Chains A and B, each alone.
Chain A
Amino acid sequence: MNPVKVSNVTVAYDRKPVLQEITFDMPEGKLIGVVGPNGAGKSTLIKAILGLIPTASGTVDIYGKPYKSQRKLVGYVPQRGSVDWDFPTNALDVVLMGRYGHIGWFRRPGKKDTAIALQALDKVGMKEYASRQISQLSGGQQQRVFLARALAQDATVYFMDEPFVGVDAATEKAIISLLNELKAQGKTVLVVHHDLQTVKEYFDWTLLLNKRKIALGPTEEVFTIDNLQKTYGGRLSFLDTQLDPSHVVQS
Chain B
Amino acid sequence: MWNELLLTLQDANTQWVLFGSILLGVASGVLGSFALLRKQSLIGDAMAHAALPGICLAFLLYGTKSIGWFLVGAALSGLLATYFIQAIINHSRIKEDTAIGLVLSVFFGFGIVLLTKIAQSKNGNQSGLDDFIFGQAASLVGSDVKVISSVAIVLLIITFLLFKELKLFTFDRQFAKGIGLPTGFINALLMTLIVSAVVIGLQAVGVILMAAMLITPAIAARYWTDRLDRMVIVAGTIGALSGILGTILSSMASNLPTGPVIVLAATVIFIISLVFAPNRGLVSKGLKLYRLRKRVARETVLQTMYDLAEEASISNQSMLFTRDQLLTRRRMATRMLDKNLHRLSREGLLNQTDGKWGLTAPGAKAAYEVTFNNRLFEIYTMYEMRFAYLQLAANDAWEYYEIPSHTLNELMELMAVHEHTPQLDPAHFAKGEKYYIANLESNDSNKRKREVKSS
* A136, B394: Cβ atoms closer than 8 Å: yes
* A78, B175: Cβ atoms closer than 8 Å: yes
* B171, A78: Cβ atoms closer than 8 Å: no
As a 0/1 sequence over residues 157 to 190 of chain B, the CB contacts with chain A under 8 angstroms (1 = contact) are: 0000110110110111011011111000000000
Partner pick for A97 among B171, B225, B390, B394, CB 8 A cutoff: B171
As a 0/1 sequence over residues 172 to 213 of chain B, the CB contacts with chain A under 8 angstroms (1 = contact) are: 101101111100000000000000000000000000000000
Shortest A75–chain B CB gap in Å is 9
Whether, in the assembled complex, B226 has its beta carbon less than 8 Å from a beta carbon of chain A, the answer is yes
- Segment from A28-36, A85-93, A240-248 that makes contact with B: A85-93
* B227, A90: Cβ atoms closer than 8 Å: yes
- Nearest-neighbor residue (CB-CB) of A76 within chain B: B178
Given contacts A88-B228, A90-B227, contact A51 B165 (CB under 8 A): no
Which label, helix, strand, loop or mixed, suits the secondary structure of the B interface?
Answer: helix
* Residues of A with C-beta under 8 A to B393: 132, 136
* B222, A170: Cβ atoms closer than 8 Å: no
Whether, in the assembled complex, A106 has its beta carbon less than 8 Å from a beta carbon of chain B, the answer is yes
Shortest A185–chain B CB gap in Å is 21
Bound Cα distance A168, B226 (Å):
26
* B178, A100: Cβ atoms closer than 8 Å: no
As a 0/1 sequence over residues 173 to 184 of chain A, the CB contacts with chain B under 8 angstroms (1 = contact) are: 000000000000
As a 0/1 sequence over residues 32 to 65 of chain A, the CB contacts with chain B under 8 angstroms (1 = contact) are: 0000000000000001001110000000000000
* A52, B177: Cβ atoms closer than 8 Å: yes
Whether, in the assembled complex, A105 has its beta carbon less than 8 Å from a beta carbon of chain B, the answer is yes
Whether, in the assembled complex, B389 has its beta carbon less than 8 Å from a beta carbon of chain A, the answer is yes
* Residues of B with C-beta under 8 A to A78: 172, 174-175
* B172, A168: Cβ atoms closer than 8 Å: no
Whether, in the assembled complex, B391 has its beta carbon less than 8 Å from a beta carbon of chain A, the answer is yes
Interface residues of B in 21-42 (CB under 8 A from A): 37
* B226, A133: Cβ atoms closer than 8 Å: yes
Whether, in the assembled complex, A153 has its beta carbon less than 8 Å from a beta carbon of chain B, the answer is yes
* A82, B172: Cβ atoms closer than 8 Å: yes
- Nearest-neighbor residue (CB-CB) of A174 within chain B: B385
* Residues of A with C-beta under 8 A to B388: 125, 128, 141, 170
Whether, in the assembled complex, A129 has its beta carbon less than 8 Å from a beta carbon of chain B, the answer is yes
Bound Cα distance A76, B174 (Å):
10
* Residues of B with C-beta under 8 A to A128: 388-391
Bound Cα distance A149, B172 (Å):
12
* B168, A100: Cβ atoms closer than 8 Å: yes
Could you list some 11 contacts between A and B, CB below 8 A?
A51-B177, A51-B178, A83-B171, A88-B37, A88-B228, A94-B171, A97-B168, A97-B172, A106-B164, A153-B179, A170-B388
Known: A84-B171, A88-B231. 20 other contacts (CB 8 A): A50-B178, A74-B178, A76-B174, A78-B175, A82-B172, A82-B174, A87-B37, A87-B171, A94-B171, A97-B168, A97-B175, A100-B165, A100-B168, A105-B162, A106-B161, A106-B164, A108-B164, A132-B393, A141-B388, A168-B385
**Cβ-closest 5 pairs across A and B:** A101-B179, A170-B385, A128-B391, A133-B226, A76-B178
